[in-house]
Each structure stands twice: as structure tokens, then as C-alpha cells.
Structure 1
């Protein structure tokens, strides 16, 4: 299919938007809910980071299950478990919050890996970059309104009412997803002919398939950049509130509006032929570094707006560009596993933005934490540059030589 706007594709994007609407609302209000239950910065970092950490661990498992059983069953079961897990927020207990966040990390691993493979299967290779960009856009559209609505609701409604509403909403999403799954063709693993007979024939064998340089270095770049993004999402609202500033809603609104517009406009410029996306990768990492660094220098409205624009552009292009690049480099028989590993790297980075950067903020300061995130984005740029040089010198990617 060469139409990324077909009715079936729009249904996939719609269920994704609804799912992530809840995800972003929980992400924004749970730290405040945890404070009422006696949490400090360290505990908040652990609770919020648990989701991405669990997701990271389960990504390869999710990919392997999808490779074996197909996407349809995984998709439905993930939505069901997500609905059940939201009931755990009805009891204000920090240990229970951590458990629920872990379960939701597992759900996120299975849901997003399944949805990205569903998107790939819906479209031809020529349209894959656009389809994945639009799917990624669907995951971010809720962040244009979800965090803002959540921050407003916390001032008007008791937390139990908010989470009760989210639970009811998730039930509706499950029913929508169940209806959509019945329209999908069963997705099966690759034919046996595509699987190498010799398990020791190198990086495309069963045992060595994860050793692909493209996969490993792309994952490393995504991990480093995601640390800064995770730290901003987890701690910027708390930092601003401690400074007596009410700009969190403004920052996230600007960042996500820029992200949505850039991801939509930039989807046609992401290579969909397997070539190295250097013209997108390096400017995106530079902007991500600058966006995080300036948050460590000032909290004026102008600086916050500039950081939101830089980060919005950077993360709008970085993830779909690298995901598309990786999707062309992995063999079909292990596609779910390897794409799961790449997405897991992004999850691990986001998780470390809470787990590792929380202690940095506690031991030093929030500005030091943001500056550290910016330095990690610069390091990701150097990793990407080294990857580009090696690939060019080995003659394995002629396209990279011209970037």
C-alpha cells in the first residue's frame, strides 16, 4: 500500500493517539500524586523511571513474541493489561505506584513494538519512512494537549477522580482496539526460507543477528539522546514549580506543537531506501544538546521557549530517522526482536533520565542535571560521526560518504 492516509492507517494512528493521551497525562501528574503520598525527588525518579526501565528489558521479549505469534494478539492483550493496570492508581501507595509503572512499562514494550510493525506491514518500503513518521507523530500528538490538561485538572479535581476518568477512557480504547484487530490480517513470522540454515554465519544468523553495527550504534545514539529528553519530562515541571514559576504548561505546549509540525513536515525528507540519515541526525543532535544546555543556564520565558523549539525539532526527526534506517538493515526473520532492541535503547535512555539524573539533581542541582543531558547529546553526535566514518571507510554504505 502506498497511501499512509488510508482508512486502516488512520485507525492505527487513532488508537495510538488515544493510548498515548493517557500515558502523557499519567507522566505529568503522577509525580505530584506521589508527593502527596510522601515521595521525595529520589522516590519520584525511581517510580517514573521504572516504566521505561521495564519497557527496555521487555522490548526484545516483545519482539520475539511478535515474531512467533504475530502482532494482532499482542496488540489486544497489551490494551487489556493497560486498562487493568490503571486501577492500581486508585490506592495512594508508593510501592503500588512503582509496581503499576513496571506493568505499564511491559505493556508499552508490547504495544509500541506491535504497532510499529503493523505500520510497516501496512505500507510499501517506499512509504515506510512516511508511515513510521506519521505513527511517531501519533504518539506525540497527545503531548500537545495531554500534559496541559493534566496539569490543569490537578488543580481542580481530586487525583482519584482523574485516575478514575483515565480508567474509563482506557476501557473505551480497549474496545476500539478489539474492533480494529478483527479487521487486521493475521501477522505471521517470516517463512523458514528466509532464516539462515547455519546458525553461525555471522551477524545475520540467529545467534549473531543482534551484533549488527548499524543496530548497535544507532541504539547507542538514541539511548544517549533520550537521557536528556527523559530528564526534561520528569523534572522540569518540578523544577519550575520550586522556583515559583508557572511556565511548565507553556514549555510542553510549545515543544510538542513544534514536534508535531516538524514531524509532519519533515517526514518526506527521511530516507526510505536504507541510506544513512546523516543530514537529519547531526543537526537534530546539535539542537537537542543546545535545548538541554540552555535550560541549565536560565528559566526566563524566552529561554524556555527557545529550548522547547530546539528540543521539539530535534526529537521530531531523530527517532523516526534512526528507526527507519534500522528497519532496512534487519532481516525479516528477526525483525521484531531487533526493532525491539532499538526501541528498548530509547526506553532505557528515557528511564535513565529519571533514574540516573534524579540523583544528579539531588546531589548537585537541576541546572547541572540539564547541562549533563546536553553533554550526553553532544556525545551522541560524536558517536554518530564515528559510525559514519567507519561505514564510509569500509565501503558498506556509499550513501553515507556523500552526506
Structure 2
């Protein structure tokens, strides 16, 4: 049977490892640069935050154009080129000793991050047998999950022993290995003619992926509270030591569940995974709001890892499945444009909210909000089903 076609081909392994190294560098810099700004450059906390925001901003701006670029020049060429420029940009960090220059470098770095991750996601989706796409993209997402732990661990461990310049060079060397992995990838290129004369809406977005991308935006908005404030929340509870293990537990929960949830997605349907995942995500946020001891903080990390960690690859799969085969890059770009926007918006809006309502109340409110997203998702699924029924009756 076709379901036995392998996922872990040479191409898939190469794209997995390459994506892993890109995200290791991404998360390592995400952890290191705020410290670098305040410590080495003498910047403020707000300036440290802007270093993160400017990177996401450039990724959001460029992401819609990445599908068009990939279609025009080819997935393999754009993957290799963007990985090379991502690596070159990484080598420039030791040369920057001024805050404004660092801001410009971060914006430039975000551009290549946007393109390389879009190309990688499209190539990964194409290399997976269609009937096993839920399982395969779940495995591919593990490259990002591992990097969530590995990146910060590498950065913070090295910081105790070597200089910032040395860390930047080590991260750059890691990215060079990622570039080498891209060279062994074979991509399925789009054979349809590309309109080179003008830029249209379809060149930037895949309309059929919009509904699930919108729901993904709301999920990312909620998750922004975790990546942005978990350390500060833990510090307010005198649980900062336990916070160091939060994302480790988070990642382990995702990695353990991924083989089962991916298979369930393909064999039993997406709702078999997505509906329980929403409930677990909400319970995880509720547990965070009630946390006062270390084990509760880690339990919340496990629940959020199981819930949120299953929702995102499932939604990415649905976004790609909604589009024609030749539009996988556009579908990937559309989904992550909305997703990145949710993270960036959530970090800002929830930062304002937390000053008035406190961390515990924020997480409790978000647990209710996530259940609301679940009902919104179900409503959209019913609307989609109704449209299909009407279409089939019209065709008949």
C-alpha cells in the first residue's frame, strides 16, 4: 500500500537537519541578544525587546513575497541562496558594536530567515507522501521543537565560558553545516508558467489557506504569552530555576507525542488530533495561572507542549492540503505570515494587558480565549463542509 512509502528519505533528512540548524541559530540569538544589548552595548530593556521585534517584523514583511520568489527562481536555488545569506549575516554579528547597526543587521537577518524557512517548509511538504503528510510534517516540526531547547542551551552555556564574539562565530559555524545540508536536497519544482510582468495578490498569498491561517494567528497570539513572559512570571513566583526546565519539558512532551499525533491525523482525520490539542493547550494555560510551585510550572509546560505542539503542525498541514500541489510554497508562506503576525501582535498587546491584570489573570483569560478559538475553528469547519455540500449539489 502507498501508506508504506517512507518519510525519512535522504532529501527529508537533509531538509530536517538544515532547518534544525537554522532554528538553533534563531533561538540561540533570541536568547543571547537581549543580554548582549544590555550587557555589552549598554542598552535598555526596551531596546533589547526591539532587537527581537525588528527581526520578526522583517520576516512578516518579506514572508508574503517569498512564495513568489521561490516560484520564480526555484525552491532549491532559493533554499540554498537564502541559507548562504543567513549564514553570512550570522558572521557579521562580531563586527557590530553599535545598537543601530545591530538593528539593521537583525532586519537583514530576518529577511533571509523568512525565505529559508518558507522554502524548507515547502520542500519538506513536497518530499512527504501525500497520504502521510500529517505525520511527516509533524516530524519536520520536531526540527523546530529540538531547536527551542538546543538554541538557548548552547547560547547560555557558552556564555559562561567564552566571549560574545566566540559564541557568534560558533553559531555561524553551525549554520555553515546547515548550508552544506541544503546542497544534498532534491526539490520538486513548479512547472507552471510564472507571471513575471506584474505582482498580483495570488503571487503573495494562497487564498485557500486563509481560513486555517487566521485560526493559526489566534493560536500564535495566545502562545506569545508563553515565550514572552514565562521567565518574568516564574521570577515573580520565585521559580526562576524551574523556568530553565520549562521549555525542556515542553519540547519532550512534543517529541514524545509527535509520532502518534501525526499518524492519527492521517488515519483518523485532523479533528481527532486538533480538538483534544486545543483542550490540552487551554488546560496548560489554566495550570500556569494557578501555578505556585515548581511541579505545576513544569506540568503546565508538558500540557502546553502536547496541546500547542500538536495544533501548529496540524494547521500547517491543513494549510498546505487546502492549496493545489504547485502552490505549497505560497501556502507555507501564507500560514507563517499569519502565524508570525500573531506572535508579534501577541507579544505587544499582551505586554500591555499584563501590566494591568497581572500574569495569573492573563493566563487564565487566555485559557478561556483558547476555548473560544476552538469553537471558532469548529464553526469554520462547518462552514467549509456546508459549502462543499452546496457545491456538490450544484454540480449534480
Q: Normalised by the shorter chain, which TM-score bucket?
A: 0.7 to 0.9
- Counterpart of 1:222 (choices 201, 216, 219) is 216
C-alpha distance in 1, partners of 2:226/2:374? 19
Backbone CA RMSD of aligned residues: 3.0
Instruction: Tell whether the 8 Å contact from 1:218 to 1:326 is kept in structure 2 after alignment.
Output: yes
C-alpha distance in 2, partners of 1:208/1:24? 27
Q: 1:358 matched to which residue of 2?
A: 351
State the Cα distance separating 1:180 from its structure 2 match.
Answer: 1.8
State the Cα distance separating 1:299 from its structure 2 match.
Answer: 4.3
Q: 1:189 matched to which residue of 2?
A: 190
Whether 2:66 is the aligned partner of 1:72: answer no
C-alpha distance in 1, partners of 2:171/2:227? 20
Q: 2:298 matched to which residue of 1?
A: 305
After superposition, give the CA deviation of every residue in 1:194-225 in whole Å (9 maximum; x if it has no partner).
99xxxx9xxxx95997443xx22211111111
1:59–1:206 Cα change, 3 Å: closer
1:208–1:392 Cα change, 3 Å: farther
- Counterpart of 1:61 (choices 65, 68, 86) is 65
C-alpha distance in 1, partners of 2:105/2:229? 20
Equivalent positions of 1:315-394 (< 5 A) are: 315-362=308-355, 364-394=357-387
Instruction: Tell whether the 8 Å contact from 1:69 to 1:188 is kept in structure 2 after alignment.
Output: no
1:374–1:105 Cα change, 3 Å: farther
State the Cα distance separating 1:352 from its structure 2 match.
Answer: 2.3
> Helix, strand or coil: the match of 1:180?
coil
C-alpha distance in 2, partners of 1:21/1:31? 16
Q: 2:394 matched to which residue of 1?
A: none
1:387–1:262 Cα change, 3 Å: same
> Helix, strand or coil: the match of 2:241?
coil
After superposition, give the CA deviation of every residue in 1:317-362 in whole Å (9 maximum; x if it has no partner).
1112112122222124443223311121111112223333333345
Which sections of structure 1, spanning at least 5 residues, go unmatched? 399-403
C-alpha distance in 1, partners of 2:390/2:166? 54
Instruction: Tell whether the 8 Å contact from 1:49 to 1:350 is kept in structure 2 after alignment.
Output: no
Q: 2:127 matched to which residue of 1?
A: 122
Q: 1:255 matched to which residue of 2?
A: 250
Whether 2:266 is the aligned partner of 1:271: answer yes
Q: TM-score, normalised by structure 1?
A: 0.84
C-alpha distance in 2, partners of 1:158/1:173? 23
Which sections of structure 2, spanning at least 5 residues, go unmatched? 392-396
Whether 2:287 is the aligned partner of 1:282: answer no
Q: 2:7 matched to which residue of 1?
A: 4
Larger displacement relative to structure 2 (143-152 or 359-368) = 359-368
Please identify which structure carries the higher helix content.
2
Q: 1:109 matched to which residue of 2?
A: 114
1:209–1:247 Cα change, 3 Å: closer
Larger displacement relative to structure 2 (29-38 or 126-135) = 29-38
State the Cα distance separating 1:254 from its structure 2 match.
Answer: 0.4
- Counterpart of 2:173 (choices 168, 171, 174) is 168
Instruction: Write out the 4+ residue segments of structure 1 that deviate beyond 6 Å after TM superposition.
Output: none
After superposition, give the CA deviation of every residue in 1:272-316 in whole Å (9 maximum; x if it has no partner).
79x6x2222222122222323332332421221111111111122
Equivalent positions of 1:145-160 (< 5 A) are: 145-160=150-165
Q: TM-score, normalised by structure 2?
A: 0.85
C-alpha distance in 2, partners of 1:239/1:34? 22
C-alpha distance in 1, partners of 2:46/2:362? 14
State the Cα distance separating 1:252 from its structure 2 match.
Answer: 1.0
C-alpha distance in 2, partners of 1:35/1:173? 30
Q: 2:286 matched to which residue of 1?
A: 293
Q: 2:231 matched to which residue of 1?
A: 237
C-alpha distance in 2, partners of 1:150/1:110? 24
